[in-house]
Structure 1
Amino acid sequence: MSARLKTRTVEKVWGRRELPDPFSNPSGNPIGEIWFEPPPELEQLLVKYLFTSEKLSVQCHPGDGNAPPGERGKEECWYVLDAQPGAKLAIGLQQEVSEGQLRAAALDGSIESLLAWHEVAAGDFFYLPAGTIHAIGPGLSLIEVQQNSDITYRLYDYGRPRELHLDAALEVAIRAPYDAGRSRKLPETGDAVLVEGPHFRLERICGAPGTEQYERLAGRALIIPLSGEYAVGEETVLAGACAWTPGMGRVAWPDDGVALVAAPLK
């Protein structure tokens, strides 16, 4: 099995026709997401790149406890790679509201004014527990690491002709502000543990990992290079790719590299 994961290109109405390096888009269609197909050994994690030219729908996701029977919930996190001036993410609400108030706002479109919009820059990081109401604005490139689930409940979609899931969303939505302690503004360099459970661990590692990191990441993991040339087994892995490894001993780490490393905890 190849260490480098296969990709799936996903067209979206809010995507981009021109993608940033190192990606290309010969189709000319609006590409919103590039998925990395996880191996069976890491099927509980999914990594995506997202590219936006328009706002995404206002949405939320269920957790393991309130997902449809037999399905996994979806907790996710975002690492911002690039942001045009003024680009924003909506995460949580400005203040707590009742279920009736949220329903009415979703129906008449005023839900946009209830959202807490965060102006962002490269290196910003956000962890979104299941149930967090969110939307992604235009002008952004980001990496999403998530539980491997595609359950999305849309509350509002700016009049686009796509299905909404208002009743299901209201059952799981957190109708309150986002906990700012789940976000980070990272400097250009420096190691950081970004997520520590409950479903996965995510770290940013600059250069080779130290002893403690190496031991902590000794098992199955996904490596997402941001810069530098990595060797995973016999394969070279660069920015724009994602690779899996059954152990850190199979990775040659560049001294000048920066990578995200994700590992399941269940």
Structure 2
Amino acid sequence: MVEKVWGRDSLPAPFVPPAGQRIGEIWFEPPAELPQVLVKYLFTSEKLSVQVHPSDASAKPGEAGKEECWLVLDAEDDARLAIGFEREVPPEEIEAAAKDGSIEDLLTWHRAHPGDLFYLPAGTVHAIGPGLALVEVQQTSDTTFRLYDYGRPRELHLTRGLEVAEGVPYAAEHRRSIADGPVLVDGPHFRLDRIEGALDAATLSAYEGALLVLPPEGEVAAKDGSARAAAGECPVADGLASLDFTKAGVTLLTRAV
């Protein structure tokens, strides 16, 4: 559990925050079998900073590229996600807007509903609004460049952020719904699938190696009875065929590409 200024002191079941802490993120440490993919839960009560991440190609020594996706689990009325700009914006205008706070008005704020999925390529300028519970799947990276933070006393990274930021609108093709499954993301760095009920041959063949399993509901078990995972957990398995989903509802699967 990671404490954040924008986090919550009350979390949805099964999570219980430590007394007096505002938990914004719950990380599942990437296992040795799958170090390239990081899975998190995010819980927000305030806006997150406006930020951007480099790609593998634009990352400098000591940095790491980061592409990610968000799946909305729960959203209060009028909860929103800022992704991309309303129009093409040159770097000098992004810089000026970041300095005076008007960058919020340049961004596109998308209404968020449970089941919405947003894929964010590296270079996408974004921010998460309050009142949201999300699952985030990403490249394993902690490289974040803050462009604007609402006056909070945290470091900004305008120089590097402007070097990697793409001042363009968010491409509609990157927004999906969990109902569009089974393949939700088939990106250059990770794949994300949704399964429910019987497994089809294509999904089984796509997950023959190490994978992470995220059951938002129900229970996933190893067929040999050696382990079980319920909502709020994220086990690693050596292959999809080794798992039993008879007591599971909708389940998310992810692996590196």
TM > 0.5 fold call: yes
How high is the sequence identity, in percent, across the aligned residues? 57
Any unmatched runs of 5+ in structure 1? 1-8
Give yes or no for contact 1:87–1:137 (8 Å, CA) kept in 2. Answer: yes
In 2, the alpha carbon distance for the partners of 1:166 and 1:26 equals 34
CA RMSD of aligned residues (A): 1.3
Whether the aligned pair in 2 keeps the contact of 1:207 and 1:255 (CA below 8 Å) is no
Q: Which residue of 2 aligns with 1:100?
A: 92
CA shift at 1:248, angstroms? 1.5
TM value normalised by structure 1:
0.93
Counterpart Cα distance in 1 of 2:73 and 2:33: 27
Written as runs of structure 1 = structure 2, the 5 A alignment for 1:113-132 is 113-132=105-124
1:16-37: CA deviation from partner (whole Å, max 9, x where unpaired): 0000111111323100000001
Separation in structure 1 between the aligned mates of residue 191 and residue 118 of structure 2, nearest angstrom: 14
User: Is the Cα–Cα contact under 8 Å of residues 228 and 254 in structure 1 kept in the other structure?
Assistant: no
Asked if structure 2 preserves the Cα contact closer than 8 Å seen for 1:191 and 1:206, the reply is no
Alignment partners' CA distance in 2, 1:18 and 1:256: 26
Mapped partners of 2:191, 2:176: distance in 1: 15
| Number of equivalences | 255
| SS of equivalent residue, structure 1 residue 40 | coil
Matched, 1:257 2:249: yes
How far off is 1:255 after superposition? 5.6
Q: Which of 150, 163, 168 is matched with 1:171 structurally? A: 163
Deviation at 1:68, TM superposition (A): 2.1
Aligned match of 1:202: 192
Show CA shifts across 1:42-72 (max 9, x none).
Answer: 1110000000000000000000001122543
Give every structure 1 segment of 4 or more consecutive aligned residues whose post-TM-superposition deviation is greater than 3 Å.
none
Q: CA deviation at 1:227?
A: 1.2
Q: Is the 8 A contact 2:178 2:194 kept in 1?
A: no
1:151 aligns with 2:154: no
For residues 27 and 235 of structure 1, the distance between their equivalents in structure 2, rounded to whole angstroms, comes to 30
Contact 2:39 2:137 in 1 (8 A): yes
Paired position in structure 2 for 1:136 = 128
Contact 2:220 2:247 in 1 (8 A): no
One-letter amino acid of the structure 2 residue matched with residue 184 of structure 1: R
State the Cα distance separating 1:192 from its structure 2 match. Answer: 2.2
Q: Report SS of the residue matched to 1:51.
A: strand
* Residues 219 and 247, structure 1, Cα contact 8 Å, conserved in 2: yes
> Which amino acid counterpart does residue 175 of structure 1 have in structure 2?
G
CA 1:208/1:191 → structure 2, altered by over 3 Å: closer, same or farther? farther
For 2:61 and 2:103, how far apart are their aligned partners in 1? 29
Q: Does structure 2 conserve the Cα–Cα contact (< 8 Å) formed by 1:99 and 1:170?
A: yes
Among 212, 221, 235, the residue aligned to 1:231: 221
Matches of 2:230 and 2:123, distance apart in 1 = 34
